[in-house]
Amino acid sequence: MDDWLDMLQWPAMVVTVVAGMLVGSKSPARRITGFVAFLVSNALWIAWGWHDDAWALIGLQLCLVVTNLRGILKNEDAG
């Protein structure tokens, strides 16, 4: 189980990079998909951080959850 959780940082990184590309799109639907992907990456980073006792990372990810939810709401208002 520990090996699997150690490897969790790699899919978290990939999802974060893909999300960053999506939120830069001109399409509101793609931007929302990007923010949802960021939320998935936040969850992955929190799981990895919990396993690795990376409390500052967990705090950062919780703050980023708020900004990603705001991004979703702002995009829904614009669409």
Q: Which residues contact 24 (CB under 8 A, 6 or more apart)?
A: 34
- CA 55 to the chain's CA centroid: 17
Q: Which residues of 54-79 are buried (b: 16+ CB within 10 A; e: fewer)?
A: beeebeebeebeeebeebbeebeeee
- Give me the tens of pLDDT residue by residue for the chain, a chain 79 residues long: 678 888 899 999 999 999 999 999 999 999 999 999 999 999 999 999 999 999 999 999 999 999 999 999 998 776 5
Would you state the pLDDT for residue 77?
A: 74
Would you state the pLDDT for residue 79?
A: 59
